[in-house]
Amino acid sequence: MSGEELAYIQDALQSNWIAPLGPHVNHFEKEIAEYVGVKGAVAVSSGTAAIHLALHVINVTKGDLVFCSSLTFVASANPILYRGAEPVFIDADPETWNMSTSALADALAEAAHVGRLPKAVIVVHLYGQVANMSEICSLCDQYGVPVIEDAAESLGSTYEQRHSGSMGLFGVYSFNGNKIITTSGGGMLVSHDQQALEKALYLATQAKDPTEYYQHRELGYNYRMSNLLAAVGRSQLKVLKERVHARRAVFQRYVEQLGDIAGFIFTKELENTRSNRWLTTLRVDHSKTAFRVDVIRRTLVAHNIEARPVWKPLHLQPMFSGVKYYPHEKGMDVSQHLFQTGICLPSGSNLSLRDQMRIVQCIKETISFEKIAF
């Protein structure tokens, strides 16, 4: 917490605005829009809800195709199914771990050839690292396909001096409890298209017509953020710059302590980008070392240090069995390889130097033991 949440919450309580509307909601939307450099924003109950609204606004419906990053959390793709559409998964780039532009180019070219272009492309900025938006947007513009940026993990990250989430038709942020700033649960839909945002706001408030009585012409959703949570979000936004600085410092210390270990490869930033380093991630090149990434992770967990595998790619998930998938290159499934060799290390904004050095020491001791055993 930033330390100012209680003051904002008390203000919301004293004003008696606790419902999913109110002054803090309006201010939070305005402040996020100004921070990321877009014309407007709609505060909602989750990042997933924001993606769902974006797909609805552009009229994604049953039988439509939507291209989506495969190396991501399932929430990026679930809204595609909510709309009755069909996901098509795109592989990751081996350097950035984000959507492969070569795989996307292949997928779009084939879709155009058969006369079935996607209604949208959902690009995920994974672990805080911004995707290659210049090439991705150029490809999508070539075919007239709108881009939705899933920037749930990358608030505070930039690409060529532009904020993640501000380059596509829509950008999506998450304020879940694990994000760089939090409202405990919540999300935000942002865009330069004010008319599209007005439609999203209408849908998010049960699609109620502007009449004196309750009238509804179409299906809507109960997706608005409460004034209490928006109050928390406003206090959190004030320390976002500090959070990004803290996360980047955590990443840099890991690189300094572990970067010279053979086989350890930390994710790089694209040129002219700045990642918020929401999570420090790395992969272990098993061809260059005797130890394996799963041994490191299990050892950390055994020492009460939480470490996680990289997201299991969506094209490998049982619920998406049989869904079409475009690899980075023929015979090269980058997403699967990263899942098998990657690890997420503790990266909290409040991770102390002492705790981080304990993590580093545990990793070094594990590697030394594995080398001896090998």
Task: Please tell me whether residue 142 adopts helix, strand or coil conformation.
Answer: helix
Q: How far is it, in rounded angstroms, from Cα 372 to Cα 374?
A: 5
Task: Please tell me whether residue 78 adopts helix, strand or coil conformation.
Answer: helix
User: Mean pLDDT for each consecutive 10-residue tract of the chain (374 residues)?
Assistant: 87 86 94 98 98 98 97 98 98 96 98 98 97 97 98 97 97 96 96 98 95 93 95 96 97 96 92 96 89 92 95 98 96 96 95 97 83 44
User: According to the model, what pLDDT value does residue 289 have?
Assistant: 82
User: According to the model, what pLDDT value does residue 369 have?
Assistant: 59
Q: Please state the separation of Cα 342 from the chain's center in Å.
A: 17
**Tokens describing residue 135:** 């090439």
Q: Are strands 147-150 and 120-124 parallel, antiparallel or unpaired?
A: parallel
User: According to the model, what pLDDT value does residue 2 have?
Assistant: 81
233 near 74, Cβ under 8 Å? no
User: According to the model, what pLDDT value does residue 288 have?
Assistant: 86
Q: How far is it, in rounded angstroms, from Cα 243 to Cα 247?
A: 6
Could you list the beta-strand ranges (E) of the chain.
Answer: 40-44, 65-69, 86-90, 120-124, 147-150, 158-159, 162-163, 170-174, 187-191, 264-266, 273-274, 280-284, 308-309, 325-326, 342-345
**Tokens describing residue 283:** 């992969």
Candidates 179, 324, 330, 364; catalytic one:
179
* Residue 93: Cβ within 10 Å count: 22
Angle (CA) 258-261-264 rounded to 5° is: 80
User: According to the model, what pLDDT value does residue 20 have?
Assistant: 83
273 near 344, Cβ under 8 Å? no
* Residue 259: Cβ within 10 Å count: 12
Q: Which of 240, 192, 235 is nearest to 28 (CA)?
A: 235
Q: How far is it, in rounded angstroms, from Cα 363 to Cα 172?
A: 35
Supply the DSSP string of 164-184, one letter for each residue.
Answer: TTSSSSEEEEE-BTTSSS--B
**CATH assignment of 5-237, among 3.40.50.11540, 3.40.640.10, 3.40.50.1860, 3.30.428.10:** 3.40.640.10
335 near 312, Cβ under 8 Å? no
Catalytic annotation present for 179: yes
Cα–Cα distance list, 217 to 152, 202, 223 (Å): 31, 11, 17
User: According to the model, what pLDDT value does residue 374 have?
Assistant: 39
In the chain, the N- to C-terminal Cα span, in Å, equals 45
Q: How far is it, in rounded angstroms, from Cα 10 to Cα 8?
A: 5
**CATH assignment of 240-373, among 3.90.1210.10, 3.40.50.720, 3.40.91.10, 3.90.1150.10:** 3.90.1150.10
* 240-373 and 5-237 share a CATH fold: no
| The overall pTM is greater than 0.85 | yes
Sequence ranges of the domains in the chain = 5-237, 240-373
- Cβ-based burial of 168 (10 A; exposed 0-12, middle 13-18, buried ≥19): buried
Q: How far is it, in rounded angstroms, from Cα 168 to Cα 153?
A: 16
